[in-house]
């Protein structure tokens, strides 16, 4: 099984740093006081394409050779990886085909197309996006850029934590814990690699919707658990039914634990981020904060890194959520 190490993350950062937006960590005195902890936010909704996913896509695609770039790339995604790959393809002057669920948010479909990608839809209840993607890749000789189960994608996602660690170490501090949203587990895997080197005793947690908590269940069972769930919730970006194979091995080896919350807690976190920072977060982007706010006792007295992972949501939908 392919593994990823800190040198891979550092190498990825050296390749992609000139393409990245600055997402400096921020804090909230009121939240620190309420939690009796030091909370540090990495606002990746301010990253290019509105999420951390650009990091992993760019990491993988900057390694493509001339022939691969000439043939183009393909990816499957519910929206944020789609935009990351499409944007990276535009920057690298190659073509992209993106396989997206037919019920993906309109704004994510629109944004993906705006980068020049060809979008192919599938029914997430009936079709296998993996099979569709692999078939097209073979037929058109395209390189498949996987959303999470890829060493170079994981390394790219880890660069967000690498930047956060550099920032806190300049203050002569270290992170005691981190909470990261999880779909396939790529961001968690990259983050865990960086933070376990930074502080071997750092406690790491995935954040998931309670109806899609496959990581939480998998860590408890010490094996990958598949969730057969037809309920489409508010966290459209986190509805992968099982952890990735590579990502689960990394995360389980790094003793990652799982947290999960309901929609009400997620919306409360979205409201807080908007009121405190004027941040517009999609539900999936706010879930790590929601898990923090729902687990005060677990994080009391600690220095905690929270990955705010994305903000790809229409203004209309956002207003609907925060007005409830």
What secondary structure letter does DSSP report for 141? T
Rounded to the nearest 5 degrees, what angle is found at the Cα of 165, between the Cα atoms of 278 and 77?
Answer: 60
Question: What Rg value do the Cα atoms of the chain yield, rounded?
Answer: 18
Q: Is-catalytic flag, 316?
A: no
Using DSSP bridges, classify how beta strands 203-209 and 257-261 pair: parallel, antiparallel or unpaired: parallel
Q: Catalytic residue among 77, 78, 150, 240, which?
A: 78
Distance CA 309, CA 51 (A): 6
For CA atoms 291, 296, 298, 300, give the dihedral sign: positive
Residue from 34, 126, 49 nearest 89 by CA:
49
Place of tokens 């007005």: 323
Using DSSP bridges, classify how beta strands 96-101 and 73-76 pair: parallel, antiparallel or unpaired: parallel
Q: Is-catalytic flag, 78?
A: yes
- First-to-final CA distance of the chain: 46
Count other C-beta atoms under 10 Å from residue 277's C-beta: 15
- In the chain, beta strands by DSSP E: 38-43, 73-76, 96-101, 118-122, 143-144, 177-181, 203-209, 257-261, 303-308
3-state helix, strand, coil in the chain (%, to 5): 50, 15, 35
Count other C-beta atoms under 10 Å from residue 51's C-beta: 28
Distance CA 307, CA 26 (A): 11
Annotated catalytic residues are 53, 78
């Amino acid at each position: 099984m392919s593994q990823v190490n800190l040198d891979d993350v550092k190498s990825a950062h050296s390749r992609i740093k000139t393409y990245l937006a600055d997402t400096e960590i921020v804090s909230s005195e009121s939240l620190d006081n309420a939690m009796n902890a030091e909370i540090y936010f990495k606002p990746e909704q301010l990253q290019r394409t509105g999420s951390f996913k650009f990091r992993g896509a760019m990491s993988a695609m900057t390694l493509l050779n001339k022939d691969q770039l000439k043939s183009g790339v393909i990816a499957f995604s519910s929206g944020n990886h789609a935009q990351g790959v499409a944007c990276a393809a535009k920057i690298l002057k190659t073509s992209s085909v993106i396989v997206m669920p037919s019920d993906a948010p309109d704004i994510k479909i629109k944004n993906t197309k705006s980068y020049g990608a060809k979008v192919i839809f599938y029914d997430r209840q009936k079709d296998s996006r993996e099979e569709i993607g692999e078939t097209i890749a073979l037929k058109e000789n395209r390189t498949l850029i996987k959303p999470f189960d890829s060493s170079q994608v994981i390394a790219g996602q880890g660069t967000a934590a690498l930047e956060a660690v550099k920032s806190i170490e300049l203050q002569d501090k270290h992170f005691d814990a981190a909470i990261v949203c999880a779909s396939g587990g790529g961001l968690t895997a990259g983050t865990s690699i960086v933070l376990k080197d930074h502080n071997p005793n750092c406690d790491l947690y995935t954040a998931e919707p309670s109806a899609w908590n496959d990581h939480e269940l998998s860590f408890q069972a010490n094996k990958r658990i598949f969730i057969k769930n037809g309920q489409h919730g508010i966290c459209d970006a986190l509805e992968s039914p099982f952890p990735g194979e590579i990502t689960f091995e990394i995360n389980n080896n790094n003793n990652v634990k799982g947290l999960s919350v309901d929609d009400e807690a997620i919306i409360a976190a979205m409201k807080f981020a908007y009121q405190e920072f004027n941040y517009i977060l999609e539900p999936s982007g706010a879930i790590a904060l929601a898990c923090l706010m729902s687990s005060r006792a677990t994080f009391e007295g600690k220095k905690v890194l929270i990955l705010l992972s994305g903000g790809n949501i229409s203004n209309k939908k956002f207003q609907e959520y925060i007005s409830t």
